[in-house]
A = this chain, B = another copy of it.
Amino acid sequence: MPETIPADSVGLVKPRVLRFDQPLRLSSGSVLPSYELVYETYGELNNNKSNAILICHALSSNHHVAGYHSMEDRKPGWWENVVGPGKVIDTNKFFVACCNNLGGCFGSTGPASINPATGKPYGPDFPIITVRDWVESQARLADALGIDKWAAVAGGSLGGMQVLQWAVDYPERLAHAIIIAAAPKLTAQNIAFNEVARQSIRTDPDFHDGRYYEHGTEPRRGLRIARMLGHITYLSDDIMREKFGRDLRNGKIDFDYDVEFQVESYLRYQADSFVGKFDANTYLLMTKALDYFDPAEKTGGDLTAAFKSARTNFFVVSFTSDWRFAPERSREIVKALHDNDLNVSYAEIKSTQGHDAFLMKIPYYLDIFKAYMERIERYAENNSGKGR
């Protein structure tokens, strides 16, 4: 619980829910007749709606980007380091929106929601969603909020992939694209890690083919393993060495299978605090969206051709110690954008934190990000309609 909410926080915030009754045709061919999206907004939309920023979230996070839901909240939103009054994404200047992605488990329609056709939770009948589907649903959210064009769409990791898809699918609807710690598609190794996570969940006897809600169970063991594995890929070898090294929790080797090394304790803690909070079917769905993401699929693998429709200005950031989506992967994006004569600012940030760096308070990262945001502030100001 924050004793007092810090002055540079958006403070107490409330999620809202929007219902969409226009059917959504998905990449898979399935149609979702109706759905709900839960979202949060911070800051004020200006007269001309030129100061709106959409944030897209990563695999396991949600619409709660910044602030607190109650005074009892122990932690703020997931990008509190970046979003708030006077911060990098300055809520005194911008109107910031983020929704829980379709298929999520934090209030938007997903596998745990009731399927109107059966009166039971969707479970495995919830369709697989792609990054393109998310962008489509976010575009409808923009319509509902009355926003024709975002000043920027921003996201890290899987969030950055959604930003890329926005730039391809709706070139006229965003002025700037902010893509952090992302990749133009997964490698075989990335897919392999996702597959181990999925197999871990799907072979848990409590999974019941995804209908565990009806059995009053949950594939906790499988989800726990998936989360532990995820955490290894979010951290770098270096930061693990810095944080844990070979330190022993009890100062000595016990020759048994209880926690001995600090890193074991960390992983078990992370895993235990994830289960019960996150839906396993959503985890499966999110990993599939990652695997499938490939904007160059339609152009025969040619990423340059894939960005031909893009009209946006780009800010691309990578982190040197990120081995999940290494700087090489960001450079592939930058090259394809340059090939299309698009404006790109690219920053490769030296850091030891691994993939998770995009969430961290790293001064040089936040400084350069802020400098780019000031450019977007000028765009928002120039198009605000003030003085016209």
Contacts and interface: CB of A to CB of B under 8 A. Distances in A.
A294 interface: yes
Nearest to A354: B189
A57 interface: no
A180 to B, nearest CB: 21
Interface stretch (A63-71, A199-207, A337-345): A199-207
A202 B221 CA distance: 10
A103 to B, nearest CB: 13
A256 B244 CA distance: 38
A47 interface: no
Contact of A189 (B237, B255, B291, B292): B237
Contact of A225 (B196, B205, B257): B196
B196 A229 contact: yes
Given A191-B264, A196-B225, A292-B253, A246 B186 contact: yes
A94 to B, nearest CB: 36
A188 interface: yes
Contacts of A186: 246
A232 interface: yes
Contacts of A192: 228, 231-232, 240, 263-264, 267
A242 B383 CA distance: 49
Indicate how many identical chains form the complex.
Answer: 2
A224 interface: yes
A378 interface: no
Interface of A: 27-30, 127-128, 185-189, 191-193, 195-196, 198-200, 202-205, 221, 224-225, 228-229, 231-232, 235, 237, 240-241, 243-246, 253, 255-257, 260-264, 267-268, 271, 284, 288, 291-292, 294
Given A186-B246, A203-B225, 20 more contacts: A27-B255, A187-B246, A188-B237, A188-B263, A191-B246, A191-B261, A191-B263, A191-B264, A192-B264, A192-B267, A195-B263, A196-B228, A196-B232, A202-B257, A203-B221, A203-B224, A205-B221, A257-B288, A260-B291, A261-B291
